Chain A
Amino acid sequence: MGISLSPAALSASSSAVSAAVSSVIRRVAARRAAAAGVAAALLLAAGCGGGGSQGEPGAPALDIGHPSAPNSLDPAKINPAFNWYVNLAYDPLIYRAPDGELVGRLAESWRYVGEGNTAFEITLRPGVLFSDGSPLSAEVLRDNIAYFQSAAGPAAAYLAPVETVEVVDERTVRLGLSEPSPLLPTIFTQDYLAGDLISGPGLADPAGLATATAGAGPYVLDPAQSVANDHYTYVPNPNYWDRASVRYGRVTIKVLPNPNSALAALRTGQVDVIQGDYTTASAAESAGLRVTYTPQVFQGLALADRGGELVPALGDVRVRQALNHAVDRQRITEALFGRYGTATEQIVLPGTSGYVETTRYPYDPDRARALLAEAGYADGFTMKVLTTSFANTHLVPQALAADLEQVGVTLELVNQAEATNYLTDMASRAYPAYGIGYGTQPVHLMGPGLFLPSAAQFNPFGSADPELEALYQQAAALDDASRAEVDQAIISRLVEQAWFLPVVFVPVFFFANDDVAGIEPTNHEPIPNPVHWRPAA
Chain B
Amino acid sequence: MLRLVLRRLALSVPLVGVITLLTFLLQSVAPGDTARTLLGVNYTPAAHEELRHELGLDRPVLVQYGDWLTGALRGDLGTSPITGLDVGAEIGNRLAVTLSLIVAATVVAALAGIALGVLSAVRQGWLGRAVDVLSLAGLGLPNFWLGLVLVSLFAVALPLLPATGYVPFTDSPGGWARSLVLPVATLTVAAAAVIAAQTRDAMLAALRQDFVDTFRANGASNRSVVVRHALRNAAIPVVTVVGLVFVSLVSGTVLVEAVFAMPGLGGLAIQAATQHDLPMLQGVALTFTLIVVVVNLLVDLTYGWLDPKVRVR
Among A259-273, those with CB < 8 Å from B are: 260-262, 264-265, 267-268, 270
- On chain A, the residues within 8 Å of B287 by CB distance are 1
Known contacts: A24-B122, A45-B174. The answer to whether A418 contacts B274 by CB under 8 A is yes
Question: Whose C-beta in chain B lies nearest to the C-beta of A424?
Answer: B31
- CA distance in complex: A438, B235 (Å): 58
**In the bound complex, do residue B294 and residue A6 qualify as a contact, i.e. CB atoms below 8 Å apart?**
yes
- On chain B, the residues within 8 Å of A74 by CB distance are 84
User: Smallest CB–CB gap between B242 and chain A, Å?
Assistant: 7
Known contacts: A71-B83, A261-B259. The answer to whether A456 contacts B44 by CB under 8 A is yes
- On chain A, the residues within 8 Å of B165 by CB distance are 50, 254, 265, 270
**In the bound complex, do residue A258 and residue B114 qualify as a contact, i.e. CB atoms below 8 Å apart?**
no
- On chain B, the residues within 8 Å of A22 by CB distance are 223, 227
User: Smallest CB–CB gap between B265 and chain A, Å?
Assistant: 11
Flag whether B82 is at the interface (Cβ < 8 A).
yes
- On chain A, the residues within 8 Å of B258 by CB distance are 257-258, 261
Partner of A420, one of B32, B231, B263: B32
**In the bound complex, do residue B45 and residue A456 qualify as a contact, i.e. CB atoms below 8 Å apart?**
yes
Stretch at the interface among B6-14, B62-70, B88-96, B204-212: B88-96
- On chain A, the residues within 8 Å of B227 by CB distance are 18, 21-22, 25
Known contacts: A157-B42, A457-B41. The answer to whether A25 contacts B172 by CB under 8 A is no
Among A238-269, those with CB < 8 Å from B are: 254-258, 260-262, 264-265, 267-268
**In the bound complex, do residue B84 and residue A421 qualify as a contact, i.e. CB atoms below 8 Å apart?**
no
**In the bound complex, do residue B178 and residue A71 qualify as a contact, i.e. CB atoms below 8 Å apart?**
no
Known contacts: A25-B223, A454-B44. The answer to whether A7 contacts B298 by CB under 8 A is yes
User: Smallest CB–CB gap between B90 and chain A, Å?
Assistant: 7
**In the bound complex, do residue A49 and residue B42 qualify as a contact, i.e. CB atoms below 8 Å apart?**
no
Among A339-382, those with CB < 8 Å from B are: none
Flag whether B106 is at the interface (Cβ < 8 A).
yes
Flag whether B244 is at the interface (Cβ < 8 A).
no
> What's the interface size class on B, roughly?
35 or more
User: Smallest CB–CB gap between A439 and chain B, Å?
Assistant: 10
- CA distance in complex: A330, B255 (Å): 36
Question: Whose C-beta in chain A lies nearest to the C-beta of B104?
Answer: A9
- On chain A, the residues within 8 Å of B73 by CB distance are none
Stretch at the interface among A91-99, A224-232, A484-492, A524-532: A224-232
**In the bound complex, do residue B38 and residue A153 qualify as a contact, i.e. CB atoms below 8 Å apart?**
yes
- On chain A, the residues within 8 Å of B111 by CB distance are 16-17, 19-20
**In the bound complex, do residue A420 and residue B83 qualify as a contact, i.e. CB atoms below 8 Å apart?**
no
Known contacts: A5-B103, A16-B111, A268-B162. The answer to whether A448 contacts B174 by CB under 8 A is no
Flag whether A207 is at the interface (Cβ < 8 A).
yes
Flag whether A47 is at the interface (Cβ < 8 A).
yes
Q: Which of A41, A46, A421, A458 has the largest count of B CB atoms less than 10 A from its CB?
A: A46
Flag whether A423 is at the interface (Cβ < 8 A).
yes
Partner of B175, one of A1, A13, A51, A207: A51
- On chain A, the residues within 8 Å of B223 by CB distance are 22, 25-26
Binary interface profile of B, 115-133, with partner A (CB < 8 Å = 1, else 0)? 1001100100000000000
- CA distance in complex: A21, B274 (Å): 45
- On chain A, the residues within 8 Å of B45 by CB distance are 456
- On chain A, the residues within 8 Å of B171 by CB distance are 51
- On chain B, the residues within 8 Å of A423 by CB distance are 32, 36, 41
Question: Whose C-beta in chain A lies nearest to the C-beta of B167?
Answer: A51
Question: Whose C-beta in chain B lies nearest to the C-beta of A445?
Answer: B42
User: Smallest CB–CB gap between B190 and chain A, Å?
Assistant: 18
Question: Whose C-beta in chain A lies nearest to the C-beta of B171?
Answer: A51
- On chain B, the residues within 8 Å of A59 by CB distance are none
User: Chain A contact residues: over half helix, strand or loop, or mixed?
Assistant: helix
- CA distance in complex: A290, B222 (Å): 62
Binary interface profile of B, 173-203, with partner A (CB < 8 Å = 1, else 0)? 1110111010000000000000000000000
Among A387-438, those with CB < 8 Å from B are: 418-421, 423-425
- CA distance in complex: A418, B283 (Å): 21
- CA distance in complex: A44, B156 (Å): 19
User: Smallest CB–CB gap between B296 and chain A, Å?
Assistant: 11
**In the bound complex, do residue A264 and residue B84 qualify as a contact, i.e. CB atoms below 8 Å apart?**
no
User: Smallest CB–CB gap between B262 and chain A, Å?
Assistant: 8
- On chain A, the residues within 8 Å of B298 by CB distance are 6-7, 10
User: Smallest CB–CB gap between A270 and chain B, Å?
Assistant: 6
Partner of A41, one of B177, B222, B267, B275: B177
**In the bound complex, do residue A228 and residue B83 qualify as a contact, i.e. CB atoms below 8 Å apart?**
yes
**In the bound complex, do residue A71 and residue B260 qualify as a contact, i.e. CB atoms below 8 Å apart?**
no
Flag whether B30 is at the interface (Cβ < 8 A).
yes
Question: Whose C-beta in chain B lies nearest to the C-beta of A158?
Answer: B42
Known contacts: A45-B161, A210-B83. The answer to whether A50 contacts B36 by CB under 8 A is no
Partner of A457, one of B43, B107, B119, B275: B43
**In the bound complex, do residue B261 and residue A256 qualify as a contact, i.e. CB atoms below 8 Å apart?**
yes
**In the bound complex, do residue B84 and residue A207 qualify as a contact, i.e. CB atoms below 8 Å apart?**
yes
Known contacts: A45-B181, A50-B179. The answer to whether A25 contacts B226 by CB under 8 A is yes
**In the bound complex, do residue A264 and residue B155 qualify as a contact, i.e. CB atoms below 8 Å apart?**
yes
User: Smallest CB–CB gap between B160 and chain A, Å?
Assistant: 5
Binary interface profile of B, 36-64, with partner A (CB < 8 Å = 1, else 0)? 11111111110110110000000000000
- CA distance in complex: A404, B250 (Å): 45
User: Smallest CB–CB gap between B44 and chain A, Å?
Assistant: 6
- On chain B, the residues within 8 Å of A261 by CB distance are 148, 151, 163-164, 258-261
Q: Which 7 pairs show the lowest CB-CB distances between chains A and B?
A: A48-B174, A210-B84, A424-B31, A50-B175, A230-B263, A51-B171, A154-B40
18 new A-B contacts at CB < 8 Å, known A258-B258, A261-B260? A2-B92, A6-B294, A9-B103, A13-B107, A20-B115, A21-B227, A24-B115, A25-B223, A49-B174, A51-B167, A71-B37, A80-B40, A152-B51, A209-B84, A211-B85, A264-B164, A268-B163, A423-B32
Listed A/B pairs (8) with beta-carbon separation below 8 Å: A12-B107, A17-B111, A20-B115, A50-B178, A77-B38, A254-B165, A267-B156, A456-B48
Interface set of A (CB-CB < 8 Å, partner B): 1-3, 5-7, 9-10, 12-14, 16-26, 41-42, 44-51, 69, 71-72, 74, 77, 79-80, 152-154, 156-158, 207, 209-211, 227-230, 254-258, 260-262, 264-265, 267-268, 270, 418-421, 423-425, 448-449, 454-458
